[in-house]
Structure 1
Amino acid sequence: AISRESEENPVSRIGPNNAVYVIYTSGSTGTPKGVIGLHCGAVNRLNWMWRVYPFKGGEVCCQKTYLSFVDSVWEIFGPLLQGVQTVIISDDAVKDPQLLIEGLAANHVSRIVLVPSLLRLLLDSFGDLQRRLPDLRLWVTSGEEIPVELAKRFGQAMPEARLINLYGSSEVSADVTFYEIGGDPQEKRVPIGRPIDNTQVHLLDENLQLVPVGVHGELNVGGAGLARGYLNRPDLTAERFIANPFRQGEVLFKTGDLGRRLADGSIEYLGRRDHQVKIRGFRVELGEVESQIKGLEAVSNCVAVLREDRPGDQWLVAYYVPREGDTVSESHVRQHLQSKLPDYMVPQYFVELSSIPLTPNGKVDRKALPKPQAEDNLAISFVAPNDSLEMQLTKIWESVLSVKPIGIMDNFFEIGGHSLLAARLFSRIEKTMGLNLPLVTLFKAPTVELLAKIIRGKSWNAGWSSLVPIQAGGSKPPLFFVHGAGGNVLLYRELALHLGNDQPFYGLQAQGLDGRKPPYKSFEDMATHYVKEVRSLQPEGPYYLGGYCLGGAIALEMAQQLVSQSHEVALLAMGETSNFSSAPAVLPFYYSRRLQNLMFHWQNLWTLPMRDKLAFFSKKSRTELERAKLKLII
């Protein structure tokens, strides 16, 4: 019967857009969803690998990834379709560093794909990887971000091997970009590199507009590697696979990952969009917090999370693992972050662990991280008030910050304070103690102890100056930033901290905040006064000026006056500043921004105690009226 059948090969009816596999991925949500991968994506990924990293004679590959994960496709078919030998590493060996190393060495494996967590485990377990694995010349990391310090350690341990960083997801045939890491990387973060063949990566804002070089945006991927979508999930497919605004009839996949394009064209990964959190109105990149902690040589691994164990009670928590043989105190980690990050990005709790819990595929299991205990909060040791003044101030601080107990050495900004709470604090001090202190007093006195000292010495009653030293020291030319519509310059504290101790930074606060001198009513008068203040500190240029919102427009007028006086202005930085010289063109933008501001103030209003709501509403109403008058003058 068989002899009667044709000897010709069967006709294949499989095309590029047919499904090649369905792989379930939980992503960051924890809910499994089936990704329908296509033949065209799989073949494109394989062809790229064979072209860029071709196999050489005598190579041996290994298959160690669970078949339910997309990396297993390339581990199996990459070498198989090229006739390259592959050995299978058992699940037990993958979980045991000793068995894994023995298996790789015995089979002379020449290339491996692994997550950075497993690479770290191997480096921590063996100080002589080069000797143990002389044949393993190509190491590929994927699945999670690889820290710079881990890449440096690899370069020192395996100087003759190559280390490739791949980025991607199951929805885009596993890999989208690649970057070969040098033996001694100098970047602050390891880039994910450039797209593989027939793949496009667009960095877009929330309106699907391209962002400039250096500005963060969401990674949207197009090209041959895209999956068809999610199995039996048309709603989720429509949400994540969107129409390509740059190529009609094509599709982009919204990865949910953030990144920015560097000057050389490569891309830097900045973490998950759902790992970008807001605390007290500040946007915090958890990946940046983790990156700074991992910069400590004595820290082996870490993860940062935003916890809300009780409704409305949000805390930033850092979990870290000391390197074997090293001791790392919580205070040391805290002080390191305080020197590198703004206060609002420094975690309230630090928890030391023996290891970071992982999911079966080697990624961080955030749900398994333990709840921090009270003793994990190692802010400066509690120091009780010494007299009635410090006791009175402490009670006001505890009431405004909703934190108990507060010691006289605790820094206002490090225990949850920000500009809105600062205004509430000084309003409460004025009502309770009859003292009208300028907000900028917090720059000099961010603790109860220092504030009490200023009040006792009555130095807050000194002559008023618009020029406020936020960061007075440093060897670089000073920066002068003008207040926004609110008049105070507290919002520039984080910027000054970010620029470092070597950058002098001065704020220009509005005249009239002290309630004594009348405020200026025009940009020109404000600018003339601020130029005089700036020149009292720095008589000659070049000048470096800036401002946020309204402050940008005032800084522009200052620059024009300085140039007219034959002074050089080397920098004029304007943040979210409107151009009111062409009213019709900016009216839609203007009213949009006013609506955003209204929503922002409305949210702040509802966070206040009832007794403060009326005062806040009255203050903001007066500000808007003054702003409207100013618009008419302009």
Structure 2
Amino acid sequence: MITVDKLIEDRCVATPLKPAIRHNGRVVNYQTVNELSNQLARYLIAQGIKPGDNVAVAVSRSPEMVILLLAVIKAGATYLPLDIKFPVGRIKYMLDDAAVKAIITLKEYKPLYLDSYKVICLEEALKAAPSQDASSFPTLVTEDTIAYILYTSGSTGNPKGVEVKHSGLVNLLQSVQKEPGMTADDVMLHTTTISFDIAELEVYLPLITGGQLVIADAELVKDGRALLEIAIAEGITIMQGTPFMWRTMLEVGWLQRLPIKIFCGGEAMTKDLAQKLVVRCNELWNMYGPTETTIYSIIKKVGMDDEVITIGHPIDNTDVYILDEQLKPVIPGEVGEIYIGGDGVAVGYINKPELTEERFITDHISTTPGKMMYKSGDLGKLLPNGEILCLGRIDHQIKIRGYRIETEEIEYQLKQNDDVKQALIILHKDTHDQLHLVAYVVPEDMDSITDEAAAINRWKGRLLEQLPEYMVPHAYMIIGAIPLMPNGKTDRGSLPEPVMNKYVSDEYQEASTKTEQKLTEIAAQHIDVDKIGVNDKLCELGINSLLGVSIMVRIEKLFGKRLPISTLLSHPTIKDLASLIDEPGLHAQYKTLVPLKPGGKKIPVYIIHGIGLNLFNVNHMVSQLSADQPVFGIQSIGLDGTMEVPATMEEIAAFYISEVLRNDPVGPYAFAGYSFGGYIGFEMVKQLKEMGKDVRLLAMFDTNVQLPTHRYPMSKKLGVKIGRQFGKFFHRIRTIFDEPVELIKFLRVNNTARFKIWLNKIGIIKHYDREHMPDFMHAIAVKLNTAYYNYVLKPYHVKVDIYRAKRRFYYVDDRKTLGWKPYALDGVQVHVVPGDHKEMFDESNAKVLADIFQKRLDEINS
């Protein structure tokens, strides 16, 4: 009996110390893969996971993700891989449809599923793993056990889950191990989301072979230049991707030959793409196969002289037939439908017996009783050389950028809108040869659609809530009726030509500068529109990652500035891009961002001002940080006299975020706030996380959360104030024994200040500012305090690092975590540092504080 976990375990025993997985500088050897997967498997069993259970996995890419998948298998369960970026509604449908026993995810996503499912946090599992036995145990799965369930687009309006057996997965891996071939000396790059079936090949093929798996972060995969760089830097020898991915790499000027073997699958390979790739690699392989027959079923080594790009011949233990409508083989050279039989055929679709019966049928041609074959829906023919030529779909299923899409699923979701009567989805190629999904929508009442743009935005918004972004159409055509042929079938040929340039900004503005004009020309060469305003968001006009790469390459050639593709997200309009390009210096136009120590290769940390508004007080500490630690400061908005302080904390945080994104559109990010700055930092991190940004650290230098007593009813407010007096009394008793002289000094200064503030309020003295600020700074501080006074602090999934001053003369409600425990749902880590609230950054304390802080910064870089 051969299963994936046993194949990998054999390699772990044979070469325990050899590197198995690499990710962002981390190296995990085979022994760790084996032992940690054993420990996690035992932990999952202790959590109630039993053989045969379905377990969902929704985590980010990392060595732990790979090891976790292996652990689920070792526990005897079947895993359902989910892309954590999918809409929650779609994920919940899959969880319910597959009747999962549990979902394993990250802490930050736990609240989304806690009410309906058993949630196992990966962080908690990893923390508990060392207490589990690391030794191997007998396999709990067989060749007929379902290895994984993978959902594909469905024609009924919801995705359909395909159940793939271990026998099929092992057959695919061992066949590909022989041809195209992989050895223990090979290094394979993992680029694919685990919700796409070819990820299984990337994850397991290197590990069963004894090679190395290099994991590329999701953001890098979208950038052709980054993919090219990682392939070179990491010594990649085998790389897999869709034609779309390979084109993104060609777009950035890939010219040199690389010592790689290319697997290209997911959609049809054109002759033009093949000719460009074959001269840039050692070997080029065209790979074909639906999810229902376990990833790849037919493969072909492509040569420079190939006039026709075929899909080749079947892999091991796989039968391929070209059949007519009566399920009889057609003669070679005639066109029929491709049917696939053999070990790779999946069990069927979960909870869809009629669809399973329709697509998975008895293989009446095989001599082995009980064998099944899958009706692919693709047309093909057998050529004289014995190779199979794929001729496209029979039905309306389409493929775009490697994704298989049932148009009926999108149409179903569109028709869930009350004002939509009918909907039809087509694939359209624009004048730049770019593919787009186009939705033809028939409203319930044509006269009710008085604002087409608003209606389209509403429909599009609903789709984004239900479907992955790649399934949401870019263009929408509102029509009176779907044209029909005499036999009642849809007449797609009579649909009006899609108008890709119909919807532009309501406030169109022409380019006014030379840079804006050049950028508009570049954009027009890549987007099928005849009118682009400088305030139009390019992504909403149809820019995808491939076009984005092409645009950035043109910008680099024309302006001499190299910008990552993610710049289009932080600078989405022509005007935004032009302002970035025209800046004489990176920080010349910043309102609040101050480069305190911009050099270094580590993750930069952004330190947010306190109520003193500037950052002079942190200079000693910053100077003591590592030489390669970049530090930027965020001083108060309004100090330059050109901007008013926004009225709310949300707006203040949003503006500071805009400054940070201008400095670094990609991330990851680390933030630290001093005193008042901690409140702003909390809101900034919340907003950045909701944008999908990677925030590694939120540190707070002695930021204390005060109870919002001004919102309490009088009875509760009075009770809290009375209770507080007892706490203050015992705090004073403790402090007077420790530092009586310093306490008396503090009380004298503090009480004098309180008295003068009271005199100011009743009008006896005109002005009092205990911070000794100029009037304009005092006005800014008042506005900031007012914004915080009205701010409602809410719990959020973030971890907070508190750097708590050791000396404290004033009373706080929560001495341990300074009140952050209820709000930081991912935990609070407290670091006690010398000095009091104001002295912690003094020269005498700066070195100790810097050393403690740097240690934490180094952890997020590891």
What TM-score do the two structures reach when normalised by structure 1? 0.44
Report 1 or 2 for greater relative contact order, CA contacts < 8 Å, sequence distance ≥ 6.
2
- Specify the structure having the higher radius of gyration (Cα): 2
What TM-score do the two structures reach when normalised by structure 2? 0.33
